[in-house]
Structure 1
Amino acid sequence: MARALRDVAYGVPDYALSVLRALEAAGFEAWVVGGWVRDALLGAPCHDVDITTSAHWRDAERVLDSCGIAVRETGTAHGTVTAIVGGKPVEVTTYRVESSYTDHRHPDDVVFVDDVREDLKRRDFTINAMAYHPERGLLDPHGGRDDLDLGLIRAVGDPRLRFSEDALRVLRAVRFACRLGFDVEPRTQEALARCADGLEDIANERIGQELDGIVCTGAVAWALAHEMPVLGVAVPELKPLVAFDQRSPYHAYDVLEHTMRVCRAVEEFTGGNASRELRWAALMHDVAKPITFTQDETGRGHFFDHPKVGARVCELLMRRLALPHDLIIPVRSLVRLHDHVVSPTSRSMRRTLMKFDKACPGRAPRLAFDLLDLKRADAVSKVDWVAGYAIELDGIELALRRELERGATYRMGDLAVNGSDVISATGIKPGPGVGLILQGLLSAVVNGDLPNEREELLRSLQI
């Protein structure tokens, strides 16, 4: 991958430049570091700017405050304060080196130093261990620009030492590889596999953040293919999928290979714009197959109730990873319904929308389209004669669009009558019974037994 990178593609933003200039005007050295340098060399968008400086954090705070720049003490134990310029944050950190990491996450001691090169030595990967100054240019003692040229994720120094210091770096390596489309340098890859067990010492929510970052790159299929020693520790529920023979006439691949292909296919069907929920559902849709597997007398494999069990497993593991509730519930619903039978009829479309709205109010249309993309991806990842179902789903998607354009009735609020109408027509007292009657009317309309017309609905209540 020859990118022939020479210099940053854009300048340091003015708001960050004002912080750097203030520190230099007070006699301190300062550099822009981290993700901004990497992304600016790649010509990729970057929203955060970090600065490292020879100034002790107390001096940095004093200098910036004297220049009218608001400062917050956000990590002073590690030498970090955050400057706020025009509402934009700039992290400012004193040059530092770190001691051993007993807990595999945080340094036992931090020592402030005077040389930026010493600071860069402690960083995780070469592509993140560069510093940039508008006049002095690029400082790259570890070959980060060369590795950007080559498309490589390479640890700074001894890879095993870097990962033993902070075990979360093994997932960060995978995330950067997925995000940038890079390979992992061989020595670094070997160390990833050897050090993955260190993730057991990392808080679940930190693992969840990194995994979500991996999934959201749209390249989780690559991670499943190349980094299962890491993912299997981060998400133990994925381990049983490896080489699990489905013994099914519908499947040509083991469960892990099938899952990998589904993850890749959802990106293809959505043009690389799959929703976060769909990407997680693709990863998790068959997670319960190994625990629901049975064989009949002919040796054929079956996975009875695996969507239902999988939805429960998916919810539990995502909650363990402290992922947000408004992500977990739609992912659970997609996993639960990924084998739900759909057809190109109004009734089928309304029933599907109603199921999603019950689980995720207000999100049913988007999730229904996600379900169809998940089904497409699932179909093309099976044997050839099943893959044709993906074409049938085009007609089903058209039926869904038409039903929505017609103003599909799938929520209680869509009914032509409301609770007051029910009370007037039946004499029932206000309470849960009103909701039950409305739910019955909704089911009748969704199933096509009644039209969503006020007079017809009220007449049905008199029968």
Structure 2
Amino acid sequence: MSKIKHARLILQSFINSGYKAYVVGGAVRDLMLGITHSDIDICTNAQPKEILGIAAKQGWKTELVGAAFGSVMVIVDGKPYDVTTFRREEYGEDSHRPTKVEFGALLEEDLARRDFTINTLCLDVYGDLIDLFGGLNDLRMGIIKSVGDPHLRFAEDALRMFRAARFSAQLGFAMDKAIFPAMVANLYRVRGLSVERVRNEIEKTLLTKYAGRGLNLMLTSGLLNQECRSREANSDIYVPIMPELSHLYELPQNSRYHHLDTWRHVINAVETIPQKLTLRWAALLHDIAKGCAGIRGTNEYGEPTDHGHDKAGALMASVMLKRLKVDRIVAERVTWLIANHMHGPQPEIKSVVKWLRRRSKEFSQFEQFKEAVEELFQLYRADGLATRHKLNCRFNDLEELVFSVLSALPFFPAQLAIKGGDIAAKIGAGPQVGKIQKNFLERIQCGQLENTIDALENALESQLKRSISTKKITQSQ
């Protein structure tokens, strides 16, 4: 049974018990747009205890995910549905959570507390649309408009400003003219948001089709220049979000190679690269050090240069991603990509082998290394497509050569045809095993040795004989 059919089943169970219930929010919005929506939210005038009782009668499992806010997770056939009681809210100093919640509201009162009109659309059990705030027209017009006064909505919950940017990026919608000034007026409220919530909205925005729209709004409104709250050692500190991006706006580049300023170049790269978190972060931050003191200079023609922006940018990105509490594995890969995005090999085998050997030393497993190289070439491609000359005409040949070599040659001991344990059985365990494996790898990469069991066993025997011979000569002296 599909999720929407399950949702109708839930609605009917509430109606049979004498309550009202509707599918509401993003699922309805996306249904109107012909987009598949995985999460389905339901609103009802039944209170949490009553929701639990109705679910129990149906044999459905439940979880209290936000009882104070009237929210119960109802699980039907293993699929979760967020069922929330109609409510009114009052906000205070907290930048995201209401200080007072009252149940027993009417549907119109419940919808009036929501963020944007396109998220107030409801469907009843018969599939009829309920549109109390003009959300359908705004959906047709492609506009993000607040429910009521945007100043009040953003003052209540500062995260809504980041959500506005995210929805614009996700749907490709324009902003109602009242949104931007309301965001600027309420920037001070961002300080009370947790760094985790802010980062989540930024990452959701990064992964959208029109990420540039959302990122541009976050930058030009001043959202990225604000501080937010980070919990460290049982106390709150305030950390900058991403003010380092601001100087890229309208920052000129060498016009011989670039037709876009640095910020527009970055945005172009973000939207060109595949929608994967490591890649989107890398594209956003790959030129972060351009224009910085000690990096920005001029060449003999008076044109701007940014020598060393890759290494400096990797250090800057590492600091930024750590304070935003980005997943450690993601952050490490992003900084590696930024540090290496200016250093590809020449399109000939010796150069490629040397380039791969040098970079493989930063990884412990082949699969990790292969994935990193694949991502690096995706960054090369997105970066190149955002320049005046697009891509070097030999780029595809280089990419093909790199992955051909990567498939043909071993770069890690685990890829050798002979195991470390077999080597240790003949020469004894210890650091000498690693030295022999390194020697075998280099000889195979140089074409001096084949990666077969017979060839490596013969090479090992020869090395043992040489070692014994050398030992005898030394003893005789």
If the length of structure 1 is used for normalisation, what is the TM-score?
0.86
Question: What is the SS of the residue equivalent to 1:289?
Answer: coil
Q: Is the 8 A contact 1:329 1:359 kept in 2?
A: no
Q: Residue 431 of structure 1 aligns with which residue?
A: 430
Q: Compared with structure 1, are the counterparts of its residues 419 and 282 closer, same or farther at alpha carbon in structure 2 (3 Å cutoff)?
A: same
- 1:258 equivalenced with 2:259 (yes/no): no
- 1:243 equivalenced with 2:250 (yes/no): yes
Code of the aligned partner of 2:369: A
1-structure distance, mates of 2:355, 2:281: 20
- Out of 126, 137, 147, the position equivalent to 1:146 is 137
- 1:374 equivalenced with 2:379 (yes/no): yes
Q: Compared with structure 1, are the counterparts of its residues 224 and 115 closer, same or farther at alpha carbon in structure 2 (3 Å cutoff)?
A: closer
2-structure distance, mates of 1:356, 1:202: 40
Aligned ranges 1:163-312 → 2 under 5 Å: 163-228=154-219, 229=221, 230-233=223-226, 234-246=241-253, 250-266=257-273, 273-291=274-292, 292-295=294-297, 298=300, 301-312=304-315
Q: Compared with structure 1, are the counterparts of its residues 320 and 417 closer, same or farther at alpha carbon in structure 2 (3 Å cutoff)?
A: same
Question: What is the SS of the residue equivalent to 1:31?
Answer: strand
Question: What is the SS of the residue equivalent to 1:172?
Answer: helix
Provide, for residues 253-295 of structure 1, a one-character-per-residue CA deviation record: whole Å limited to 9, x for no partner.
43222212322343xxxxxx44332222111111122334243
User: How far 1:372 sits from its partner (Å)?
Assistant: 1.9
Question: What is the SS of the residue equivalent to 1:13?
Answer: helix
Q: Is the 8 A contact 1:357 1:364 kept in 2?
A: no
User: How far 1:136 sits from its partner (Å)?
Assistant: 6.9
Code of the aligned partner of 2:434: G
User: How far 1:421 sits from its partner (Å)?
Assistant: 4.5
Unaligned runs of 5+ in 2: 227-240, 468-477
- Out of 43, 68, 80, the position equivalent to 2:59 is 68
Q: Compared with structure 1, are the counterparts of its residues 67 and 224 closer, same or farther at alpha carbon in structure 2 (3 Å cutoff)?
A: closer
Code of the aligned partner of 1:285: H
User: How far 1:403 sits from its partner (Å)?
Assistant: 2.8
Unaligned runs of 5+ in 1: 1-9, 267-272
Q: Compared with structure 1, are the counterparts of its residues 418 and 117 closer, same or farther at alpha carbon in structure 2 (3 Å cutoff)?
A: same
Q: Residue 398 of structure 1 aligns with which residue?
A: 400
Code of the aligned partner of 1:374: L
User: How many residues are paired up?
Assistant: 442
- 1:335 equivalenced with 2:338 (yes/no): yes
User: How far 1:300 sits from its partner (Å)?
Assistant: 5.0
Code of the aligned partner of 1:135: Y
Q: Residue 363 of structure 1 aligns with which residue?
A: 368
2-structure distance, mates of 1:412, 1:315: 30
Question: What is the SS of the residue equivalent to 1:343?
Answer: coil
Q: Is the 8 A contact 1:285 1:335 kept in 2?
A: yes
- 1:323 equivalenced with 2:314 (yes/no): no
Q: Compared with structure 1, are the counterparts of its residues 65 and 304 closer, same or farther at alpha carbon in structure 2 (3 Å cutoff)?
A: same
Aligned ranges 1:32-111 → 2 under 5 Å: 32-111=23-102
Provide, for residues 210-239 of structure 1, a one-character-per-residue CA deviation record: whole Å limited to 9, x for no partner.
111111114323334444133444422212
Provide, for residues 84-115 of structure 1, a one-character-per-residue CA deviation record: whole Å limited to 9, x for no partner.
11001111111001102311110011011331
Identity rate of aligned residues, in percent? 31
1-structure distance, mates of 2:418, 2:55: 63
User: How far 1:200 sits from its partner (Å)?
Assistant: 2.5
1-structure distance, mates of 2:209, 2:130: 32
1-structure distance, mates of 2:173, 2:441: 51
Which has the larger displacement, 280-289 or 219-228?
219-228
Question: What is the SS of the residue equivalent to 1:323?
Answer: coil
Question: What is the SS of the residue equivalent to 2:118?
Answer: helix
Q: Compared with structure 1, are the counterparts of its residues 141 and 127 closer, same or farther at alpha carbon in structure 2 (3 Å cutoff)?
A: same
- RMSD over equivalenced CA pairs, Å: 2.8
2-structure distance, mates of 1:241, 1:89: 43
Q: Compared with structure 1, are the counterparts of its residues 417 and 24 closer, same or farther at alpha carbon in structure 2 (3 Å cutoff)?
A: same
1-structure distance, mates of 2:175, 2:120: 16
Code of the aligned partner of 1:92: V
2-structure distance, mates of 1:318, 1:137: 45
User: How far 1:170 sits from its partner (Å)?
Assistant: 1.0
Q: Is the 8 A contact 1:151 1:181 kept in 2?
A: yes
2-structure distance, mates of 1:95, 1:356: 57
Which is greater in Rg?
Answer: 2
Code of the aligned partner of 1:259: V
- 1:129 equivalenced with 2:120 (yes/no): yes
1-structure distance, mates of 2:131, 2:364: 49
Which has the larger displacement, 302-311 or 65-74?
302-311
Q: Is the 8 A contact 1:163 1:192 kept in 2?
A: yes
Q: Is the 8 A contact 1:451 1:457 kept in 2?
A: no
